[in-house]
Every structure is written in C-alpha cells, then in structure tokens.
C-alpha cells in the first residue's frame, strides 16, 4: 500500500515539474507575450486586445504623472499634451496641440468601432470638446485627469458615458496634421 502511494506521489510531482517546465519555456520564449500579460493586468485590458505593446508601455511609464494645465513633462501634463506625446512617441505622428485641434485632425469613429490608439473626445459641461484620451481596448482609455493625473479609465463609467462625444482616428498620410486645421477650413468658406 505504501509503495503505491509513493509511486503515485512521485508521478504527481513529476507531472507537476514537467507542466511547470513547459509553462516557463513557452512564456519566456516570447518577451512580447510577457509584456502583454503584464500590461493587461495593470490596465485591465484583455491581452488578446493588446496589439501595440509600445502603446501600453508608453502609457504605463506615464501612469501617475500629475495633471498640470499646459504641462508637457513628467512633472505635470494635461490631457491634450498627453495624447500628443503618445502620438509623437508611439506612432511618430504629430496631431494638434489642444483637444479641439486634435479633433479637427481625425476622422470621426463610432464608439463600437474604436481600436487601440484611437482618440476619444469628451464635452464636459460644455458645447465644445474639453477633454481627450487615447483608447486602449476593452472600453479602457488613458488620459490625464485633472484630479488624478495620468490614469486609465473605463468609457462605461457613468461620468465618462455622460460626457463622451466621439472617437477619432488620424487621417492617413494625405492630410498633414496641424495645430490650426480648423482655421484652414473656415478660410475656405469665406471665399
């Protein structure tokens, strides 16, 4: 009887070791998967929705940065400068310098068509766009909150649901994104 228990115990331990070795080998072989899993847990986004590891790494490095109106560094940053920094550093693209100019530089996207990296715009107690963030997937977006600094929030939270205006994706290469894109359109209507 003791021999059977000893053999069964040794088999169980052997299976556990083999299983652990296979798991360790498969995850350590792909550093991108490790990064995706890590950022997935921190930001609450499913790892299979994380196509651009550089985006999530950039956001992670800025999490907790305090809010500062007009700020553009890790000492303090506002929402539009944060989205601008994401686009310059992750996508090598320049967009406008405030949330309204950024909206003028994007193609509007419906909420259910958002993809990671798209911009999300809000009209908070205003008729004009007052806030912008960067969509991460699974209804999560990164932004510089005036009360809590750079953070990840959920579009389905009551506050964000109430003030959500639209999503946007930068135009393809044919349109140069500028800080005064809206002014050019207004001048065309005057002629």
Angstrom distances, CA of residue 165 to CA of 112, 123, 157? 13, 6, 14
Q: Note if 16 is an active site residue.
A: no
Q: Indicate which residue of 143, 144, 165, 181 is catalytic.
A: 143
Q: What are the C-alpha distances in Å from 52 to residues 55, 79, 117, 136, 167? A: 5, 21, 8, 9, 18
Active site residue 128: no
- Catalytic member of 131, 134, 151, 167: 131
- Residue 171 — left, alpha, or beta (φ > 0 → left; ψ -120 to 50 → alpha)? beta
Catalytic, out of 79, 95, 106, 136: 79
Active site residue 79: yes
Active site residues: 79, 131, 143
């Amino acid at each position: 009887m003791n021999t059977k228990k000893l053999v069964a115990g040794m088999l169980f331990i052997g299976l556990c070791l083999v299983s652990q070795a296979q798991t360790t080998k498969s995850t350590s072989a792909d550093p991108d998967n490790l990064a995706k899993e890590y950022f997935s847990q921190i930001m609450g986004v499913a790892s299979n929705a994380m196509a651009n590891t550089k985006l999530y790494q950039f956001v992670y490095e800025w999490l907790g940065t305090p809010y500062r109106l007009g700020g553009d560094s890790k000492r303090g940053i506002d929402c539009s400068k944060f989205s601008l920094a994401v686009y310059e550093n992750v996508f090598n693209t320049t967009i406008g310098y405030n949330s309204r100019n950024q909206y003028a530089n994007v193609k509007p996207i419906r909420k259910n068509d958002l993809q990671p990296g798209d911009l999300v715009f809000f009209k908070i107690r205003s008729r004009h766009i007052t806030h912008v963030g960067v969509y991460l997937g699974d209804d999560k977006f990164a932004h510089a909150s005036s009360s809590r600094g750079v953070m990840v929030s959920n579009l389905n939270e009551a506050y964000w649901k109430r003030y959500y205006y639209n999503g946007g994706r930068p135009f393809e290469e044919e349109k140069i994104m500028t800080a005064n894109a809206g002014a050019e359109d207004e001048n065309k209507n005057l002629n």
